[in-house]
């Protein structure tokens, strides 16, 4: 019955979670929120994580009712992500692992999302849509790798939404995507935007430049409301995502879809994906914001799988990397 603690801090969330055999014992988290119109910078984000990582760690242990000696392994995000926040959290993970005399596990952030999604939803072998601020990938498992069938060829969908939010000065609290989603519910008019699907790949940068270009002009001319723009952007981006997921499902013959990553808690995206799945006799699996958005338990869960299959990360290999593709990881825990 191994118990694994997971440290996550690759972007603007810092989370520490504890998992025992598929059971999440605790999963506290803090988010670094920037003023409207601004994104989060690596240095400031790292400073935020540094200031609260020990509080979050204490919360995680107390909530789980565990002492350091009860933990069997310490998992941390090795990458991908922003350098400074990754380093900050890795240092803490390395330190406690040595203090407590426990093995380290360097986890790929994307694999963490997939394993958490599989655990929470019970999906067996799903086609995974992984959508967040920095990632947009359609992934399916085969022969010990999570293989990337489709992805963005420029920016991530969450990045497109975040940057659009900055154009309209939409609040970053609790997240720009959440506020766009609420505004989109009041949108009526579909503004025509570019739609760029290339096989199982997508491109968002053209849509962003286009909407940045026309937004203020259309708004001041009274041709549409900010809500209409949010609505049109969501409808267009999400239609593209559902389309490439369906393409990958058709190509691999898969009958399960799983949405993970921060954008995955958008209910309109889940609704659209659900309709697509129903129309082709497949099942949709999705999770809510506790597990979709970056958290510590997902790193603990992927670490638990690695630990169970005999993997550990030596101290000298416990460095972090900003670029770490999902398909670089050898998945030793699945057949």
CB contact at 8 A, 286 and 320: no
What is the contact mask toward other proteins in residues 216 to 235, using x (rule: CB under 8 A)?
-------------------x
Stretch that binds other proteins, among 28-36, 50-58, 207-215, 237-245 (CB under 8 A): 237-245
State which residue, 10 or 318, has the beta carbon closest to other proteins: 10
Give the span between the Cα atoms of 157 and 135, in whole angstroms.
7
Give the span between the Cα atoms of 52 and 54, in whole angstroms.
6
- When asked if residue 258 is in the footprint of other proteins (CB under 8 A), the reply is no
User: Ramachandran region of residue 101, left (φ > 0), alpha (ψ -120 to 50) or beta?
Assistant: left
Q: How far is the CB of 280 from other proteins (least distance, A)?
A: 5
State which residue, 11 or 61, has the beta carbon closest to other proteins: 11
State which residue, 65 or 199, has the beta carbon closest to other proteins: 199
- CA angle, 262 as apex, 256 and 264 as ends, to 5°? 30
Stretch that binds other proteins, among 21-29, 51-59, 87-95, 150-158 (CB under 8 A): 150-158
State which residue, 32 or 307, has the beta carbon closest to other proteins: 32
CA distances from 332 to 40, 127, 200 (A): 35, 19, 27
SS (H, E, C) 190-224: CCCCCCCEECCEECCHHHHHHHHHHHHHHHHCCCC
Residues that bind other proteins (CB under 8 A): 10-11, 80-82, 110, 132-135, 140, 142-143, 145, 147-151, 153-154, 156, 158, 190, 192, 195, 197-201, 235-236, 239, 242-243, 246-247, 249-253, 255, 261-262, 271-273, 275-276, 278-281, 294, 322-325, 327
């Amino acid at each position: 019955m191994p118990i694994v603690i997971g440290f996550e801090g690759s972007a603007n969330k810092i989370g520490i979670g504890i998992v025992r055999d598929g059971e999440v014992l605790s999963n506290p988290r803090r988010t670094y929120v920037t003023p409207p119109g601004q994104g989060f910078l690596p240095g400031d984000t790292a400073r935020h994580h540094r200031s609260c990582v020990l509080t979050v760690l204490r919360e995680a242990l107390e909530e789980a009712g565990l002492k350091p000696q009860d933990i069997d392994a310490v998992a941390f995000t090795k990458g991908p992500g922003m350098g400074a926040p990754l380093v900050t959290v890795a240092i803490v993970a390395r330190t406690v692992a040595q203090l407590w005399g426990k093995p380290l596990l360097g986890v790929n952030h994307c694999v963490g999302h997939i394993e958490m999604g599989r655990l929470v939803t019970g999906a067996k072998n799903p086609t995974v849509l992984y959508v967040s601020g920095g990632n947009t990938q359609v992934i399916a498992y085969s022969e010990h790798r999570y293989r990337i069938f489709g992805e963005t060829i420029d920016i991530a969908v969450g990045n497109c939404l975040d940057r659009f939010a900055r154009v309209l000065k939409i609040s970053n609290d609790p997240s720009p995507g959440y506020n766009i989603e609420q505004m989109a519910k009041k949108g009526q008019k579909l503004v025509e935007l570019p739609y760029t699907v290339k096989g199982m790949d997508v491109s968002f940068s053209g849509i962003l430049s286009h909407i940045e270009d026309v937004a203020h002009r259309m708004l001041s001319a009274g041709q549409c409301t900010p809500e209409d723009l949010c609505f049109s952007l969501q409808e267009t981006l999400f239609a593209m995502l559902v389309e490439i997921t369906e393409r990958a499902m058709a190509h691999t013959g898969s009958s399960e879809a799983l949405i993970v990553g921060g954008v995955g808690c958008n209910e309109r995206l889940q609704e659209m994906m659900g309709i697509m799945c129903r129309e082709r006799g497949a099942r949709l699996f999705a999770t809510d914001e506790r597990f979709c958005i970056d958290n510590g338990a997902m790193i603990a869960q992927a670490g638990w799988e690695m630990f169970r299959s005999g993997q550990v990360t030596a101290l000298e290999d416990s460095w972090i990397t900003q670029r770490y593709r999902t398909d670089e990881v050898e998945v030793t825990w699945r057949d």
